[in-house]
């Protein structure tokens, strides 16, 4: 694809590079500036390679409201600022610390160790995997399949 004169259409090479960089930053805390001046802050979850649509999780909208998820059209985005990794919650830190020392433990084992509900530990493990802090498992343990 060549740049169309007068239109800001990126070349294919440029677009591929942008998408790869955005995918590398998945799990980062970002500030998305929209063309109407509004700003959304949230965790970068996914980027659509065709239209550069951005999926954000745990989103703070301009008026202070929070929404669990937002899909922002790539054509509506003026800028994306990367603010770094979102700070981990206490539970996530505990789970990460245990799994770094003992990666073979199940969610139920970790839950018993920290006196927490297994469902909350499974959620923490999913968040840690999505952010790339722990590797994806090759096969889920029995208690992960149940929940």
Tens-place pLDDT, residues 84-140: 766 667 888 889 889 988 888 999 999 999 888 999 899 999 888 887 888 877 444
pLDDT band at 3 (very low <50, low <70, confident <90, very high): very low
Given this model, what pLDDT does residue 140 score?
47
- Of 22 and 66, the structure prediction assigns the larger pLDDT to 66
Given this model, what pLDDT does residue 85 score?
66
Residue 61's SS3 state is: coil
Provide mean pLDDT across the span 5-9.
46
What is the domain partition of the chain in residue ranges?
Answer: 12-85, 90-146
pTM: 0.52
The CATH classification of domain 90-146, taken from the options 1.20.1730.10, 1.25.40.80, 1.10.1740.10, 1.10.10.10: 1.10.10.10
**Cα–Cα distance for residue pair 53/59, rounded to 1 Å:** 15
Dump pLDDT digits (tens) for 25-61. 788 889 999 999 999 999 888 888 888 899 999 899 9
**Cα–Cα distance for residue pair 61/47, rounded to 1 Å:** 19
Given this model, what pLDDT does residue 88 score?
65
Task: Answer yes or no: is pLDDT of 10 > 90.
Answer: no
CATH architecture of 12-85: Roll (2.30)
pLDDT band at 71 (very low <50, low <70, confident <90, very high): very high
**Cα–Cα distance for residue pair 71/46, rounded to 1 Å:** 9
């Amino acid at each position: 694809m060549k740049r169309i004169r007068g239109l800001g259409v990126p070349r294919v090479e440029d677009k591929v590079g942008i998408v790869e960089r955005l995918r590398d930053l998945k799990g980062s805390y970002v500030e998305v500036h929209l063309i109407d001046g509004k700003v959304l802050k949230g965790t970068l979850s996914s980027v659509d390679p065709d239209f550069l649509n951005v999926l954000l999780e745990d989103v703070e909208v301009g008026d202070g409201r929070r929404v669990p998820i937002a899909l922002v059209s790539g054509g509506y985005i003026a800028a994306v600022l990367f603010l770094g990794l979102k700070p981990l919650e206490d539970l996530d830190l505990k789970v990460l610390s245990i799994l770094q020392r003992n990666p073979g433990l199940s969610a139920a084992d970790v839950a018993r160790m920290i006196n927490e509900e297994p469902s909350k530990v499974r959620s923490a493990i999913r968040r840690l995997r999505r952010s790339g802090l722990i590797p994806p498992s090759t096969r889920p343990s029995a208690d992960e399949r149940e929940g």
